[in-house]
Structure 1
């Protein structure tokens, strides 16, 4: 029942936001602009500019939103089986640890070899044993895996994945200047109107008796801040009755307030997203790191108290660990029939998908800064790379050297 309510709310949010975009465009284009044109103090040039600006600013923002809202249900879903290059073990790829592979093979009564790689597969929801490549996460809301999964966003009622990160980031970066510029002529007069509404709420006998002197207004408003906001709201409604044709009516004030809130949220999300991308991370990576640290701290607390460690806590520590395992193919030798290789684990300090600031942004967003232009922001950023994420050169070199060393040690021991 709870999931049904959440899904219903997620389907309601996008239409409400689209209605807000339309309302803001309509007010700015057909009321703010003409009002400035007729205002001799501001001059007609600024007014004509504000007739054009809403379309130039709101339309790209709306298109970016629609791009993410109408993403197909199969976006970034990995294929059922890995590509032939992985099946034939011709390239380096991330796989399960030998211990995890052994458990799965024993459960299926299969023979096992510590150097025989086994790719991860997902059996949840609609996946049905689908290949789960590196940096892929199963979305419990959509009931399917997606490569480069960042998070499921209720604002779009859809998953956000790495190939569409440029559309998401462009939307966030567009919002702040759009709200600021379009609302600029209204900030001062709306603030004056707000003060007038607050004063009127005290002088109006009906509002004073039924709000300010009502003992339950504190509870209904949720405290002093809500109480003052409620009084101002009632006073503003009375002002609208007195001056029905004013552009400074209550719904315009609420529009600007909501725009400011959206702009602040967007700015915060943009900062967080960019901070993650420049480190080669997605939101899921930050979540895994947090979960791993929480499990580690919980184990340390139990150790200090000389208490036993629950098996589930130890499992979480391993599950959310940053350590990864890669199958590294070895060069073919003369007369060799099958591809040989070694499974090599990463070192504690290694971050195989962190290529440095510039390349991290290049992989997800594209080269240079032109990805932020509206016609580029609407395009897909990554293709099949999202299922075969490139490994950092230094890490790949060390993995190959370690695999070769282990192979040679095995030959010497025989």
Structure 2
């Protein structure tokens, strides 16, 4: 993220006012300049998110295949239908299981195949167009934002103030631009940020998720992301619920076999090299050897009595726990109008402030260059948005300009009530402003600070 200078804006020929704290090029509330104001070539380096984005979907696919084999093929078909001669029970159980699975799969594919309008994907173009959602164009979003601002101003101000223009800016009044990767100085609207993993600006950017190897943005993919997270816990309970007793029984049988088998005791448990990797490695590797030998023994077992059962159940529990935790935290933040990037930037801002306070206590030994760099980072993360307003006074020909600031404490991010925020981020916005647009209350505060609108309005 780029850095922006904190400025004290004084009234001058442009009537610049409201000197408050700084804002960043990628602040929690607004689309701001993501790159340092320079035209240096982007650095080509390995990003962890991109590496995980190639690996995690494959891991999920492998897990789904093994889980489907255990739940549907081994338990529902081979055990319930073939051995137990049950027909109605498997159908009644598999119907809600597949309904939840298809819902989860649909949500996942909508995010995984999400694409830009200008994106060309070769042979996967059809899949992207049919299954994935479409990210809004930053340029089109900028024009749409200008239209919404003009409509909101006409509704708030009298007709003689119809010439008022509002735009987001940096502390010096310059437009907010992105110079990273191939953006080439593109002007950015509210809540637009640059994704370093995808190399482009995203409107309503929340975060880049390695689970989908794609961006989570509001509202394009955020609602599908939340839907996917909410579908995992019930899918886990419905699909693996009947398998829980079998999985626990298999664990107990392998545990007994691991310490009762003479060959395992002589070759592993009683050997000094079993402790080389520590206690955890000793137990994991020993149980792995016992599970392999136990499963290869010629004994009659149920089709779903396999060492994979407890492993799949345990991994599924971890996945369901992580998904439910992410869904809960995301919904709590969305209630207050905050996206993931907003929360992370706020935490980083607080950590840097604590570091600066610690450096001030050691002022005599502090490196001034280090302190200045730290202040600059703090300025770049300040939860403040600069808004430039320009207008022509009655019976005047010269256009006046004023720069005001709106902070998150003043309601910069929130659209109103918690329900309004959730509906804006997760619902359909065909008849309302998009989730990434500047809230009306933030615009009203800016007009009041510029004395164009009375506080009693």
**TM-score by structure 2 length?**
0.72
CA distance in 1 between counterparts of 2:286 and 2:354 reads 48
* Paired position in structure 1 for 2:92: 49
Q: For 1:5-404, what aligned pairs fall within 5 Å after superposition?
A: 7-34=50-77, 35-37=79-81, 45-73=88-116, 75-79=135-139, 82-83=142-143, 86=146, 90=150, 93=166, 95-99=168-172, 101=173, 118-163=174-219, 164-220=221-277, 223-242=278-297, 243=299, 246-306=303-363, 307=366, 308=368, 310-328=371-389, 330=391, 340-346=400-406, 349-354=409-414, 355-366=416-427, 385-387=434-436, 389-393=437-441, 395-404=442-451
CA distance in 2 between counterparts of 1:30 and 1:338 reads 78
CA distance in 2 between counterparts of 1:366 and 1:269 reads 19
Matched-pair contact (CA < 8 Å) for 1:76–1:161: no
What is the root-mean-square deviation of aligned Cα atoms in Å? 3.2
CA distance in 2 between counterparts of 1:87 and 1:57 reads 40
Structure 1: 5+ residue stretches without partners? 102-117, 368-379, 408-414
* Paired position in structure 1 for 2:124: none
* Paired position in structure 2 for 1:107: none
Matched-pair contact (CA < 8 Å) for 2:145–2:189: no
Closer/same/farther in 2, CA of residues 198 and 328 from structure 1, 3 Å limit: same
- The range that moved more, 28-37 or 63-72, is 28-37
Matched-pair contact (CA < 8 Å) for 1:11–1:157: yes
CA distance in 2 between counterparts of 1:129 and 1:336 reads 34
CA distance in 1 between counterparts of 2:147 and 2:93 reads 59
| Cα distance per residue 1:29-69 (max 9 Å; x no partner) | 222223234676x9654333234343222121112111111
CA distance in 1 between counterparts of 2:388 and 2:58 reads 47
Structure 2: 5+ residue stretches without partners? 1-43, 118-134, 154-164
CA distance in 1 between counterparts of 2:57 and 2:138 reads 27
**TM-score by structure 1 length?**
0.79
- The range that moved more, 233-242 or 135-144, is 233-242
Task: Provide the secondary structure at the position in 1 that maps to 2:450.
Answer: helix
How many aligned residue pairs are there?
372
Closer/same/farther in 2, CA of residues 329 and 4 from structure 1, 3 Å limit: closer
CA distance in 2 between counterparts of 1:291 and 1:77 reads 29
Task: Provide the secondary structure at the position in 2 that maps to 1:302.
Answer: helix
- The range that moved more, 88-97 or 128-137, is 88-97
Matched-pair contact (CA < 8 Å) for 1:88–1:339: no
Matched-pair contact (CA < 8 Å) for 1:364–1:381: no
CA distance in 1 between counterparts of 2:394 and 2:223 reads 47
Task: Provide the secondary structure at the position in 1 that maps to 2:189.
Answer: coil
Q: RCO higher in 1 or 2 (8 Å CA, sep ≥ 6)? A: 2
Closer/same/farther in 2, CA of residues 201 and 84 from structure 1, 3 Å limit: closer
Q: How far is the alpha carbon of 1:285 from its aligned partner?
A: 0.6
Q: How far is the alpha carbon of 1:11 from its aligned partner?
A: 1.7
* Paired position in structure 2 for 1:105: none
Task: Provide the secondary structure at the position in 1 that maps to 2:409.
Answer: coil
Q: How far is the alpha carbon of 1:214 from its aligned partner?
A: 2.8
Q: How far is the alpha carbon of 1:217 from its aligned partner?
A: 2.5
